Every structure is written in structure tokens, then in C-alpha cells.
Amino acid sequence: MANTIVQGICFRCGRLKSLRWNHTLDRGECRACRAHRSPIETCTGCGRQRRVNARTDDGGAVCVTCYARDHHPEDACDECGMIGPLATRAGGKRPGAANLCGRCYRNPCRVCGVCGRLKRVALKATATSPDVCPTCYQAPVIDCSICGQQALGRRTTNHGRPRCFACQAAQQIDAALTGPDGVIRPELKPVRDALTELERPRSLLTNWHDLASLRLLTSIARGQVDLSHDALDARPQMFSVTYLRAMLVAAGTLPPRDENAARLHRYAADVVAEVSDPEMRGVLTRYARWHVVGRAKTDRHDRIAPNAAARCRGDIDTARAFLDHLSSSGYDLDDCPQDHLDAWITTDRSRRLGFVRWLKRGGYLRHVWLPEPVPAKDPAHDVDPEEQLALVRRLLHEPGSASIEDRAAACLILLYAQPVAKITALITSDIEVRDGETYLRLGSEPVLLIPPLDALVTALPVAKPFGAASRLADSRWLFTGKNAGTHLHPASLLRRMHQLGVTSRASRNTALLHLASTTPPAVFASLIGVSIGTATRWAGLAGASWNRYATLPR
């Protein structure tokens, strides 16, 4: 009996395809597998070494490309007017079919019988099966030949046997992390486990060679890059390096360190190295290392906060700019004229005067005098209290107004005058539940949270880092960052607050004025974490007098 064309499972590749069924052997083979068995010869059409698709009358080999070009009838495309091979012809099976070339033809879109989405059809429906889109056709639910689980995977990856994406990813990870000695380094095993536990292993298979962090991890595993902070510091500080470093620290592979402090030290060293004059370089080194970095303010976790690090970088840049300004004008630190200094200070008085004062205390600029410090101005508050209260009500009572994270953070700014740097550093142990009431520690004494803010705060953390970092996330942070083991960056939260209409500084000023006018300074200072001096100053600005409160009997 002659061979016939049927739909079935190819006995070679295991895929569901159109088969040429061999009734003698009682099995079918798809066209791709038949093509792979064809001999490779020089094509008489293009002259390249290709698999033989057909032969000429004199026995010459013809590849599939040349065969298709020579045997497809050409006609004018109804869409673009070009003359060439047609993909469809008028009068075909599809209603309203037209003469269309391959460039103008669009595959039909129908509802996929697996995922329900309107997509291009990869496998047409039959009497027993629905239309299948390319995504579902390429990733069906299979019985994995390795782990035995039913999961998404490929039918033909494991020597023609089905294999799920999780097992494919595990094998790829093991191959990438195996060192020259044929084993995975013990310190990389926690990272390996985090990668293999991803919820979407297919994304890892797709992006492995495109992600710089994974390529760098492979280089570390193979011994091409040292497994150390110094080796990572020597590379360009892109997000991929930062992401991988955080993942290695969270996994215990690298020792933890204050990343803001480390970056600040590197930044100071780079700026100092750019100064060519030895005397100027020595001055800038002492100022940057001891006065700026050495005195940088740390948070309650004994780490330099991102905003403090940014201020330090600004101070170092200001010092470098002044030294460059002197050198370009032909002066040094001993003969700088008064008018030259005054003109430079005027541009940015508050920041530039700090470095000049340090120079003066160090015995430089002996022939100039410094202007008197300008008294601090009263803080401006340009948010109407009623508008701020209306925004609080909307964030508290309208779930669709923003995410849980953003609603909670905005209310902490609007009600308790909390800076974004302090909000992002909150941890789960700051929340206390006593007698059915929720307290949050913002200062030395916990503050009672009003409903429904208490529900928003206790629902945190919500977000997790993406990728393998999600498996190594530090669960203590209420506002989780993108990198493993880190909290959300204050600048990211500040941008999100601006999108909600919350201006941090102005909104905090309005909240502080309200607290100062309704609560004694000593009380709200301990509740929201400001100094008693700051609380007293705000009480004065609010016009409240609490002198008698201190004398009342307790």
C-alpha cells in the first residue's frame, strides 16, 4: 500500500505533525526528519552544500530553497502588486481569499483551545482537538521523562522524550555552574538552588544568554572571575553586577557589607585620582576620606543611607570643583583673593561654604575672611491641610487609588511626617500588635496606627525582587527592593509618591505643623522619631505654647 499523509506523532522526533505514514512499517515520519536523512551535496542552483530536496532530470541535487523558488508559480500580489510566488490564491478554501505574496499574507487568528487567547493558529483544529496557538503548541503540558511530573515542557528535548522546563533549566544551570574540575563549588550551591526554584523556569531558558548577570555568574563558576567583592568592584558598576552581588550576599556566598559606604569610598578614590596637582590631591584626599566619608551619617541599621551617600558625593564634587576653579584661574590655596572666593560662594552658598570653612580651619585661605552664616529660614509649607486630609481619606478608603505599598507609605508621610529614607528602612519587627491594636515604631515609642492604615501596614511586605533574587529576599523589609536582601531605594519611593501627588517635603511640613499644634513636643518627638529641639521649633512655628504642659501633674 502506498504511503499516505496523516496527522500523528513522528516516530523520530515525537512531535505532532503531518506525517508520511509507512503502512509496511506501521509508523509515520514528518518532513523535517525525512529532510535530515537526506544526503548533503552541492546544489546545482545556488552552488552551496545543502541537503538534497529534489533532483533535476540529469540527477543533479536541488536544495529546498532553490526548489521552492523554481517550482512556485509566480503571479501579481493583490496587496503590493509585486510579481512573485504567492502564499495564497483567490478562490481558495478561505472565504474572501486573495492573491497574496509571503510578505503580505497574515496568518489567521482564532481563539486558542488551550489558553483561550485570540492568536495565530499553529495547529489547526481536527475532529478531536481544537486550534492551538504557537505558544501552547511549543509548550504543551507533558509527562516529564526525568521527574515524572505533569508540567509545561517540550515533547522532543531529551533524546526524543518529553522534558519539562524545570528539568531543562536545572540541567542548563548545572552545566553553566560546573567548574573546570567537573563539580559545582559548594559556595555556589545556594545560588544554584535559588535558580532552580524559579516559578517560571521557561524565562530562565529563554534569557540565560541575554542576561549579563547570569553570564557573569557563569564566568565566576568557571574560575574566569574571582568570587570576591574586589573582583566585582573592578567591573563596570551596572545593574547586572549590583544584582548578582546582592544575590551572592543573600545566599551567603559573599560576606555582607555596607554597599553605599563601599560605593562612596570608590567614588571618592576615583575623584581624587583625577586631580593631577599633588598638593591639591592631598587636600582633597583628607577632606573626602576623613571629613566627608568618615563623618557620613548612618541610619539605625548602622549603614550609610542612600540620601546621605548622595550628599557626600555632592560635597566631594563641590570640593573638586573649587580646587579646579582655583587652578584654572592661576591661584592656589594660599593666594586666593577675596573677590574670587566671594564670587564662587555666591552661586551655591549653603554647600560651597562648607568646604571653604573646612579649608579655613585647616590653615588654608589665610588672606580671606568668610561671610557670616545666614540664619535658617522657616520651612515653607505649600500644601493646604484640607487638601492633604482629603488625599489621606482617598488613600485609606479607596483600594484602587494605588498599590498597598504606595498607600501605606503615602499615609506615613501625610500623617506622621516620615521621610522616605526612613520609611524604606522599616522592618517587620517595627510592627507590634497588642490587644487587637497595631503599633508601628517610628521613634523611641511606638505610635498607634488608625484603621485602616493598620491593615495596610500589616499586609506588608507585598512585592518581591524579580528572578532568582525572589528566592533569596530578606523578609524583614516592609518595602522590598529589586535586589536580593535589600529594601526599596528611597529615590524609587519618592518617584512613586510624586505620581500620587505627594510632595514629600511640603507634605511632611504640613503634617509636622498639625502634630506640633495638637501634641506636646516631647510626646510627638518620641512618636515620630525627631529630636526634642526639632519638635520644640515646630511647636513655635505652629504658634503653640506647651510650657504649662511640663508642669502638669502626671
Matching residue, cell 571629613: 291
Region of poorest pLDDT, from 13-17, 404-408, 442-446, 483-487 = 13-17
Higher-confidence residue of 332 and 500: namely: 500
* Cβ atoms within 10 Å, residue 500: 19
C-alpha cell at 108: 489567521
Question: What is the C-alpha separation between 477 and 426, in angstroms, rounded?
Answer: 6
Domain boundaries along the sequence of the chain: 1-37, 167-250, 259-361, 385-551
- Nearest C-alpha neighbor of 461 from the set 475, 441, 446: 475
Whether 14 contacts 32, CB under 8 Å: no
Whether 143 contacts 158, CB under 8 Å: no
* 443 pLDDT higher than 50: yes
pLDDT at 107: 79
pLDDT at 354: 85
Question: What is the C-alpha separation between 164 and 141, in angstroms, rounded?
Answer: 8
C-alpha cell at 84: 512573485
Question: What is the C-alpha separation between 252 and 402, in angstroms, rounded?
Answer: 35
Question: What is the C-alpha separation between 479 and 463, in angstroms, rounded?
Answer: 7
Pick the CATH number of 385-551 from 1.10.443, 1.20.120, 1.10.150, 3.30.460: 1.10.443
Question: What is the C-alpha separation between 411 and 427, in angstroms, rounded?
Answer: 17
* 233 pLDDT higher than 50: yes
* 39 pLDDT higher than 80: yes
C-alpha cell at 235: 567591573
C-alpha cell at 33: 526528519
* Cβ atoms within 10 Å, residue 514: 20
* 197 pLDDT higher than 70: yes
pLDDT at 380: 60
- Nearest C-alpha neighbor of 471 from the set 196, 160, 124: 196
Whether 158 contacts 170, CB under 8 Å: no
- Nearest C-alpha neighbor of 425 from the set 470, 471, 469, 474: 474
Phi, psi of 402 (to 5 degrees): -170, 175
DSSP state of 371: P
Whether 250 contacts 486, CB under 8 Å: no
pLDDT at 352: 79
C-alpha dist (Å) from residue 173 to 221, 389, 418, 430, 544: 11, 53, 44, 38, 65
For residue 153, what are the β-bridge partners?
164
C-alpha cell at 65: 530553497
What value does the mean pLDDT take over residues 499-522?
Answer: 92
Whether 185 contacts 221, CB under 8 Å: yes
What value does the mean pLDDT take over residues 21-45?
Answer: 86
pLDDT at 406: 96
pLDDT band at 90 (very low <50, low <70, confident <90, very high): confident
Whether 296 contacts 344, CB under 8 Å: no
Region of poorest pLDDT, from 24-33, 133-142, 171-180 = 133-142
Q: Is 28 left (phi over 0), alpha (psi -120 to 50) or beta?
A: beta
Tell me the DSSP string of 61-123: EE-HHHHHHHHSPEEE-TTT--EEEEEE-TTSSSTT---EETTT----EEE-TTT--EEE-SB
pLDDT at 274: 92
* 554 pLDDT higher than 60: no
Question: What is the C-alpha separation between 237 and 267, in angstroms, rounded?
Answer: 11
Cα-trace Rg, the chain: 35
Chain segment 373-413, per-residue pLDDT in tens:
666 666 666 688 899 999 999 999 999 899 999 999 999 99
Angle value at C-alpha 486, between 482 and 488, nearest 5 degrees: 60
Whether 138 contacts 126, CB under 8 Å: no
- Nearest C-alpha neighbor of 375 from the set 346, 350, 392: 350
Alpha-carbon dihedral of residues 411, 414, 417, 420, nearest 10 degrees?
60
User: What percent of the chain stands above pLDDT 90?
Assistant: 42
C-alpha cell at 371: 561671610
- Report helix angle 165-177 to 189-196, nearest 10: 160
* 22 pLDDT higher than 60: yes
* 53 pLDDT higher than 70: yes
DSSP state of 299: -
pLDDT at 284: 94
pLDDT at 211: 84
DSSP H or E segment with residue 318: helix 306-328
C-alpha cell at 233: 568592584
pLDDT at 1: 52
What value does the mean pLDDT take over residues 154-181?
Answer: 86
What value does the mean pLDDT take over residues 543-550?
Answer: 54
Question: What is the C-alpha separation between 60 and 50, in angstroms, rounded?
Answer: 12
Question: What is the C-alpha separation between 193 and 184, in angstroms, rounded?
Answer: 12
CB hemisphere CA count around 236 (13 angstroms): 5
Chain segment 276-329, per-residue pLDDT in tens:
888 899 999 999 999 999 899 888 888 898 889 999 999 999 999 999 888 888
What value does the mean pLDDT take over residues 355-370?
Answer: 86
Whether 507 contacts 414, CB under 8 Å: yes
Chain segment 98-145, per-residue pLDDT in tens:
888 888 888 778 898 877 888 888 888 888 888 888 877 777 788 898
> Mean pLDDT of all residues in the chain?
86
